[in-house]
Amino acid sequence: MAQHDDHVDDDVRVLDPRSLRGLAHPLRMRLLYALREYGPATASQLADRLGESSGATSYHLRQLAAYGFVTDDPERGKGRERWWKAAQARTRVDDDVLLGHPDPSVRGAMHTLLHELATTHGQDLSTWLGTLHEWPAEWRNGSDLSDFTLRLTPALAREMLEKVHEVINGYREQEVDRDTEHSARYRVHLHGFPRDED
């Protein structure tokens, strides 16, 4: 979903106040995530995947389309069956601009987006932990659940995060195709934040 990604290209959607308000809804975020993660689908297929009604998924897909997050997939579907696909692969958020925005509705939308994103990350991690016994040892050894506490200044924290993003984007350039033996989609969550001393 939303992520800080300094590597911006045509396949990255940079949120502004209008598009943020259009995306910051729990079901819309889940729909966009599902289309990005699993590929094109119909409203009915997405309803089944997410445990929602097809009326709700259809409505929110149209809303996502109005804000440019999803689009029709003309290569699929027959007759009245409408297939949807994500318009971009990733989303970039400038927290500083949107969290400090003078309009309270923009700040509220940003809080909704961040909390829904954290929920999605937690669900991804819980799914991995619940199924890790089903994966070969080489994948279990290629996973990580670590946390670190450092004493940094804001400038050092930003520098560290930029370097981590640089490393991840370097691997983006080495991605293998779907047919590569022993390959899998690999999720990386990065959370970094200051804490009080108490």
Q: What is the pLDDT of residues 129-181, one digit of tens each?
A: 999 999 999 999 999 999 999 999 999 999 999 999 999 999 988 999 989 99
CA distance 156 to 171: 23
Instruction: State yes or no: pLDDT of 77 exceeds 80.
Output: no
Strand order in the sheet with 41-42: 41-42, 83-86, 70-72
**Mean per-residue pLDDT over the chain, rounded:** 90
197 token code pair: 């001393």
Question: So what's the pLDDT on residue 4?
Answer: 43
pLDDT tens-digit series, residues 1-11: 344 444 446 68
Closest of 112, 100, 136 to residue 1, by C-alpha? 112
Strands 83-86 and 41-42: antiparallel
80 token code pair: 């009245």
C-alpha to C-alpha distances, 173 to 164, 167, 170, nearest whole angstrom: 15, 10, 5
Q: Alpha helix locations (H) across 5-134?
A: 17-23, 26-38, 43-50, 54-66, 95-99, 104-131
Instruction: State yes or no: pLDDT of 25 exceeds 60.
Output: yes
Average pLDDT over residues 61-81: 88
Length of the chain: 198
Question: So what's the pLDDT on residue 76?
Answer: 82
Taken in order 66, 5, 96, 2, the sign of the CA dihedral is positive
Cross-strand bridge partners of residue 41: 84
User: pTM of the entire structure?
Assistant: 0.81
Question: So what's the pLDDT on residue 79?
Answer: 66
